[in-house]
Amino acid sequence: MAKKNMDYDNPEIEEAWCDERRAEVTDYLRSQGVVSGRIGEWPAWHIAPYVSVWAVESGETAGAIGWWVISGDLPTDYISGREADDPRQAVGMFARRWNEAAEDMCAGRSAPHVKIGRTSHERSTLAPLLKSRAALLADWAERDDLWADLLDDV
């Protein structure tokens, strides 16, 4: 979670935040039983203290991205590296996936790819929050100014 009054432009604070997210990603993948290789030492993309996207090496093919994991002030989740070629595409994929899940949850259906909340009441309460996070991610995925570093590498 974002801590108030923290200067995330300070490299030491930003690094500590990223280190916490990396540990969170490690624990999450382990809890989900995901077989993977190494997790990047630094996020593939992030906006501290809100979101980080991590490239995770495939457990089958060394050097290949097997998973994209999102973490921060939002649910931690992962998708296959086959679903996105880069972190920007991954953010867009998470946005679409979460929006669909929120719509299912609002309609009383269980979301096939997202496990959130234990009861239908919890899911219906969490659905608007998930939908707002999905909208924010979709907006960020569309904004070229947030991806300038990636675009410069192309």
Mind listing the pLDDT tens digit for each residue in 11-65? 999 999 999 999 999 999 999 999 899 999 999 999 999 999 999 999 888 889 9
Written as six digits, the tokens of 146 are: 């947030």
pLDDT confidence bin for 109, thresholds 50/70/90:
confident
Give bridge partners of residue 65 from the DSSP assignment.
57
Whether the CB-CB separation of 128 and 99 falls below 8 Å is answered with no
Strand 36-39 to strand 51-58: parallel, antiparallel, or no bridges (unpaired)? antiparallel
Tell me what the pLDDT averaged over the chain comes to.
89
What pLDDT, on the 0 to 100 scale, is given for residue 13? Answer: 95
What pLDDT, on the 0 to 100 scale, is given for residue 3? Answer: 63
How many Å apart are CA 37 and CA 57, to the nearest integer?
A: 5
How many Å apart are CA 151 and CA 26, to the nearest integer?
A: 28
Written as six digits, the tokens of 3 are: 């801590």
